[in-house]
Chains A and B, each alone.
Chain A
């Protein structure tokens, strides 16, 4: 830290940063556009001008761009200098020359960085009387709405899209006053992170297309901190609701997890909450019934003397799973996923708990400087991680940058220095991945061979790790290259997960991480979990599903309770039919109608993350709490409320009971403050102080203004009244500060710009490194292809493979049709005159007709079907299948 002087006042500043960063970190208001804390400075907009003085004697000074000037010790600047003030006002006026000034009809209005900065500079009157430049707007797909006239040419969008997210179909076209930001032609944006443009663009050029359908201003939203439930990464989000409808999701900054960005599945998946398929009322044998009647039926079934069997869920909160486990007894609580998935999930938890390698947060991923990915297409299985991996590729080039004394925030220079130099990234996967374009080397193979490669790398690093028998020379060479790259890095990282449905792949990743750690490297390991709370369920403990069938059979008249779980997606349909037919009674709690709910005798409407509170454990092992945004009108309740004990009056009671009953989950209660937490005696308001229409929202029902609903479960209130100072980070309902209406208000809540929120890092980490365990030695035999059969593997898709988000209408537009993929050579035999055909896949007595798709990168001998998108999605894969051309 050094001392800089701002308007004569001495302040501390980080000399490694620029002046804009320093001023904002000090809480000063300095307008800016093109600089972004995650993307650095390019000095494009000229909005952040300040006066810099040579020394204390210098009174003339000169204008500099704060974002392009280092905050070196003894720097003297003035923000208030009249010349600087006039310059900044002039810049805004210039930007506004062509601006449509249509805030009332602009979706950005009320949370627009341009509005904020315009007000900040004091520009309030348009003098120009000349016509404005106009552009054609493009169709950019179901997520992002384009209104090009509002552009101020800050270049943030293309910098994010191309440099940060690594996709190339968005660009700047034209020259001088006519620069157009969009695609060459109308069309769906290719990047899985396109939704971030909505937040990155400081104006209303890119706005949330789903929000348009049920538009509400930010100030009118009731908001709550939430956790994305659409994959295992646990990105932090803010949900916004009005009039009982979930309106949108935006990013909630968490320095350790998602930082400033989300993936499109997480941003747009929310619409399933408003879906037609929602279960909104309890049903008995398909007929809607009242809450009272449902409760009566529930207690009579539970007390009916029959054996209770509970089936938990990897997508339900710890609390809901615990409530079920408690109700049925821990010996009759089953995990709800296939034995294979359960085994892999438990293995991953054990590895992370026992292993010497640190379980990587997304920030760790970003800061690692050599990455090995085994068996995952992270963009499709844990999307946000792909963005972090892309940033990690820059780490090694930073060494040169530092040698040349170019500060890291000087984005263009740093990228210029790096040229095409990237940190090593090796990807071994059973097909193409979306990160292949930046990988040092890729290896396409069957799961067995991916695992063998992993084991071989571990052995190369540490001779004590088991050696892989019959290794081909080529593979040995690749393993040696990977080993050299990993050991040569300061922070090597290994990523693996369940996509290959192979425990060996996971174990081989654990070996690599262990070999690195045992040899003095500070390696991190990131294991992707199959669902948002898979690790939470594993820590809670449950019995495998194969034993559930035995239990149902033993008690001919068992009552089965299924918690937020479509068993047909988890287990072979025949098996599920068997379970359900044998049970005397079937109670199902869920949010959306599905195959399992269709068979329920008693169906209870469960709250989604928008209508309930609970805790999820992310793949990092971070327990994070999500909070209810609104109280649904009908009987929808948290599953833990339906199933819970009468004595539980709030979430705190559940959590403290979990803490006593299950010591390994004792710290989960600390994921967020308890419901008794108050700031100066007041709750934290979910609504901004400008929330409008409070007295008239329910006037159609009663003219008496109702008391806002109570929230026994959290220290958030359903109103605009309450504490207005910064709450603990886990309870931050939204970011707003005077003069900062846009999402960039987050500046005002960070300890330092881009660093942790002043209220701390939300969540608690449950996995810390330890020194137990040893190497795995279950090295599989190499994959040998068969002549008439193919090894069928699921292929993960960001849009569609996850159950709930696939019901969001915008995402549904991008979900792929079911297909069977083969590599070109294998497919040749099935193509009719080279044209696409429909084939019949058969295995284990099942048959399914699907169109054939040729995938160049798929290794020969493998066949792929989209995960979660066909009737086969419950089958245990990989499996050998036969393929025939359908007549």
Chain B
């Protein structure tokens, strides 16, 4: 019985190998390829450098709830919260992250922070060229991670009242 199973397992594995052998080869032309990723291709789920997202009004999605920092096993997220006011509105909720740093010397790209975030503010982007000879450059500030403002011009009042 077990012999039959073993042979079947082996055959299945070899089947994959043989099928791949006759597929056309795909060569990654990194770093000389086209596009911002210079030829590298990623699956959507790839966990690269983080991006702090904005909502449809261009406000920051992060509400400074500290859940990502609490979830982070490497303890590498630093947040300082501040209150939105009628004059200065950064996020759509009561608080926003005045400072948001991730220390990439320590981040292990586990994605727990992304999972913990209730507003989908922190996400993994595809940024992967993070290596540096100077460890101090590995502390990314909020400004380094924040998604760019949407192209569309915002209505005059957006951001002033919510």
Give the B-binding residues of A (Cβ under 8 A): 103-105, 109-110, 212-217, 219-220, 243, 690, 692-697, 699-700, 703
A104-B65 contact given A696-B103, A696-B106, CB 8 Å threshold = yes
Give the A-binding residues of B (Cβ under 8 A): 63-67, 69-70, 72, 74-81, 83, 93-95, 101-103, 105-106, 118-119, 135-136, 138-139
Among residues of A, the one whose C-beta sits closest to the C-beta of B134 is A703
> What is the minimal beta-carbon distance from B140 to any residue of chain A, in angstroms?
10
B101 in complex: contacting residue of A214, A220, A699, CB < 8 Å: A699
Among residues of B, the one whose C-beta sits closest to the C-beta of A690 is B70
Contact indicator A217/B103 (Cβ below 8 Å): no
Q: Which residues of B contact A243 (CB under 8 A)?
A: 80
> What is the minimal beta-carbon distance from B159 to any residue of chain A, in angstroms?
18
Q: Which residues of B contact A697 (CB under 8 A)?
A: 78
> What is the minimal beta-carbon distance from A244 to any residue of chain B, in angstroms?
11
Docked complex Cα distance between A215 and B106 (Å): 25
Contact indicator A693/B76 (Cβ below 8 Å): yes
Docked complex Cα distance between A154 and B65 (Å): 26
Question: Other than the known A216-B81, A693-B76, A703-B105, what 15 A-B pairs have Cβ atoms closer than 8 Å?
Answer: A104-B63, A105-B63, A110-B66, A214-B81, A220-B66, A690-B70, A692-B69, A692-B72, A696-B77, A696-B139, A697-B78, A699-B78, A699-B139, A700-B101, A703-B135
Q: Which residues of B contact A104 (CB under 8 A)?
A: 63, 65, 67, 118-119
DSSP majority for the B interface? mixed
Docked complex Cα distance between A696 and B99 (Å): 12
A703-B136 contact given A215-B95, A217-B66, A692-B66, CB 8 Å threshold = yes
Among residues of A, the one whose C-beta sits closest to the C-beta of B117 is A104
A109-B101 contact given A243-B80, A700-B139, A703-B138, CB 8 Å threshold = no
Q: Which residues of B contact A217 (CB under 8 A)?
A: 66, 70
Q: Which residues of B contact A109 (CB under 8 A)?
A: 65
Q: Which residues of A contact B77 (CB under 8 A)?
A: 692-693, 696
> What is the minimal beta-carbon distance from B91 to any residue of chain A, in angstroms?
9
Contact indicator A219/B63 (Cβ below 8 Å): no
> What is the minimal beta-carbon distance from A275 to any residue of chain B, in angstroms?
19
Among residues of A, the one whose C-beta sits closest to the C-beta of B116 is A104
Contact indicator B70/A696 (Cβ below 8 Å): no
Docked complex Cα distance between A212 and B85 (Å): 13
Contact indicator B65/A105 (Cβ below 8 Å): yes
Docked complex Cα distance between A687 and B3 (Å): 57
Q: Which residues of A contact B65 (CB under 8 A)?
A: 103-105, 109
Contact indicator B95/A105 (Cβ below 8 Å): yes
Interface centre among A212, A217, A690, by most B CB within 10 Å? A217
> What is the minimal beta-carbon distance from B122 to any residue of chain A, in angstroms?
12
Q: Which residues of B contact A703 (CB under 8 A)?
A: 103, 105, 135-136, 138-139
Q: Which residues of A contact B66 (CB under 8 A)?
A: 110, 216-217, 220, 692
Contact indicator A693/B78 (Cβ below 8 Å): yes
Q: Which residues of B contact A213 (CB under 8 A)?
A: 83
Docked complex Cα distance between A509 and B65 (Å): 54
Q: Which residues of B contact A692 (CB under 8 A)?
A: 66, 69-70, 72, 75, 77
Docked complex Cα distance between A749 and B138 (Å): 43
Q: Which residues of B contact A699 (CB under 8 A)?
A: 76, 78, 101, 103, 105, 139
Among residues of B, the one whose C-beta sits closest to the C-beta of A702 is B136
Docked complex Cα distance between A232 and B11 (Å): 84
Among residues of A, the one whose C-beta sits closest to the C-beta of B80 is A243
> What is the minimal beta-carbon distance from B64 to any residue of chain A, in angstroms?
7
Docked complex Cα distance between A103 and B63 (Å): 11
A695-B139 contact given A104-B119, A215-B81, CB 8 Å threshold = no
Among residues of B, the one whose C-beta sits closest to the C-beta of A720 is B75
> What is the minimal beta-carbon distance from A302 to any residue of chain B, in angstroms?
42
Q: Which residues of B contact A700 (CB under 8 A)?
A: 101, 139
Docked complex Cα distance between A700 and B101 (Å): 9
Among residues of A, the one whose C-beta sits closest to the C-beta of B138 is A703
Q: When A and B form their complex, which 4 residue pairs have the shortest distance between CB atoms, in order from nearest?
A: A104-B65, A692-B69, A696-B78, A694-B75
Contact indicator A693/B75 (Cβ below 8 Å): yes
Contact indicator A696/B101 (Cβ below 8 Å): yes
A693-B63 contact given A217-B70, A703-B105, CB 8 Å threshold = no
Q: Which residues of A contact B135 (CB under 8 A)?
A: 703
Interface centre among A103, A693, A697, by most B CB within 10 Å? A693
Could you list 29 A-B pairs, sorted by A, with CB under 8 Å? A104-B119, A105-B63, A105-B93, A105-B94, A212-B83, A213-B83, A215-B83, A216-B81, A219-B70, A220-B66, A220-B69, A220-B70, A690-B70, A692-B66, A692-B72, A692-B77, A693-B72, A693-B75, A693-B79, A695-B103, A695-B106, A696-B75, A696-B78, A696-B101, A696-B139, A699-B101, A700-B101, A700-B139, A703-B139
> What is the minimal beta-carbon distance from B45 to any residue of chain A, in angstroms?
24
Among residues of A, the one whose C-beta sits closest to the C-beta of B139 is A699
Docked complex Cα distance between A703 and B75 (Å): 13
> What is the minimal beta-carbon distance from A272 to any residue of chain B, in angstroms?
21
Q: Which residues of A contact B75 (CB under 8 A)?
A: 692-696
Docked complex Cα distance between A213 and B80 (Å): 11
Docked complex Cα distance between A124 and B105 (Å): 36
> What is the minimal beta-carbon distance from B33 to any residue of chain A, in angstroms?
32
Q: Which residues of A contact B139 (CB under 8 A)?
A: 696, 699-700, 703
Contact indicator A693/B83 (Cβ below 8 Å): no
Docked complex Cα distance between A215 and B63 (Å): 12
> What is the minimal beta-carbon distance from B69 to any residue of chain A, in angstroms?
4
Among residues of A, the one whose C-beta sits closest to the C-beta of B136 is A703
Docked complex Cα distance between A694 and B77 (Å): 8
Docked complex Cα distance between A694 and B78 (Å): 8
Q: Which residues of A contact B76 (CB under 8 A)?
A: 693, 695-696, 699
Docked complex Cα distance between A480 and B81 (Å): 62
A696-B102 contact given A104-B63, A213-B83, A703-B138, CB 8 Å threshold = yes
> What is the minimal beta-carbon distance from A325 to any residue of chain B, in angstroms?
43
Among residues of A, the one whose C-beta sits closest to the C-beta of B118 is A104
Q: Which residues of B contact A220 (CB under 8 A)?
A: 66, 69-70
